[in-house]
């Protein structure tokens, strides 16, 4: 009797083992599901009876085997040899911290308003300030009050990849907001702003009004004066 019960116990273990392993999504299935996407999060593997803990264990094993690379807890990228495309750093910035948008110098360079290359990708979030560094670059996140979280557009940045990026006017005001003395004419001149004809001066004023801070009103007045002067000089050529 004991032998039969013991055998039954072993069969149950074997059945459980097979079921446990069959319920996991195979790596090849993940590649098929992702297609052109190369970023994914842990819930992709929580199918059927697979718990978040079991999915995390599988991802840890894949990470050790070089099949995936963790960018932060719960966010992964495929290795270079398995990527259909290279993820744009701005898309990564959005995914590293949900509810953030690319802004400040990074967005100003994207909009071609400043000439300098920007090595760090800076974003704005209503969450805590954070910093990450990985193979795609360095990512900084500045905290902003929710009432100032506006002026963002969802833009096509490369191929079929999109990212949340500040309007050029908002990126400029964000930078001034965070920088001590950012409203001074000296600081604004130091930015070496270019292509000011691409700024929407009415939107700049609207955004400054929405901040409703004297610092931003003063800065907007300086920028508008610079832009109008540049337009007058251009007309004289």
Query: Could you tell me the two tokens for 217?
Result: 């009103």
Q: Which domain, by its residues, includes 175?
A: 89-236
Are residues 72 and 108 located together in one domain of the fold? no
Are residues 100 and 164 located together in one domain of the fold? yes
Write the CATH number for 9.
1.10.10
Say how far apart CA 108 and CA 91 lie, in whole Å: 17
**CA angle, residues 220, 221, 225, in degrees to nearest 5:** 115
The three-state DSSP-derived secondary structure of 168-222 is HHHHHHHHHHHCCCCCCHHHHHHCCCCCHHHCCHHHHHHHHHHHCCHHHHHHHHH
Are residues 156 and 218 located together in one domain of the fold? yes
Are residues 128 and 54 located together in one domain of the fold? no
Are residues 23 and 45 located together in one domain of the fold? yes
Using only C-alpha atoms, the chain has a radius of gyration, in whole angstroms, of 25
Q: Pairing state of beta strands 75-77 and 100-102?
A: unpaired
pTM of the predicted protein model: 0.84
Specify the pLDDT at position 237: 59
Are residues 102 and 214 located together in one domain of the fold? yes
For 68-84, the pLDDT digits (tens) are 999 999 999 999 999 98
- Name the nearest CA neighbour of 142 among 151, 129, 126, 127: 129
- Name the nearest CA neighbour of 123 among 98, 156, 147: 98
For 20-54, the pLDDT digits (tens) are 344 567 888 888 888 888 899 988 888 778 888 88
């Amino acid at each position: 009797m004991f032998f039969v019960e013991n055998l039954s116990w072993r069969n149950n273990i074997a059945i459980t083992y097979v079921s446990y392993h069959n319920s996991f999504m195979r790596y090849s299935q993940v590649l098929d599901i992702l297609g052109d996407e190369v970023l994914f999060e842990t819930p992709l593997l929580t199918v059927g009876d697979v718990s978040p803990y079991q999915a995390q264990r599988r991802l840890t094993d894949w990470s050790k085997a070089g099949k995936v690379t963790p960018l932060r807890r719960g966010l992964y990228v495929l290795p270079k040899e398995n990527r259909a495309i290279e993820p744009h750093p701005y898309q990564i910035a959005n995914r590293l911290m949900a509810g953030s948008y690319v802004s400040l110098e990074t967005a100003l360079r994207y909009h071609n308003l400043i000439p300098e290359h920007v090595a760090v990708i800076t974003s704005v979030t209503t969450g805590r300030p954070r910093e990450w560094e990985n193979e795609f670059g360095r990512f900084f996140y500045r905290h902003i009050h929710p009432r100032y979280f506006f002026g963002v557009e969802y833009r096509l940045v490369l191929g079929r990849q999109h990212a949340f990026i500040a309007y050029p006017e908002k990126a400029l005001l964000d930078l001034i907001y965070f920088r001590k003395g950012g409203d001074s004419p000296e600081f604004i001149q130091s930015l070496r702003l270019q292509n000011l004809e691409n700024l929407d001066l009415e939107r700049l004023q609207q955004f400054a009004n929405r901040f409703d801070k004297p610092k931003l009103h003063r800065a907007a007045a300086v920028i508008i004066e610079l832009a109008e002067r540049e337009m007058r000089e251009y007309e004289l050529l």
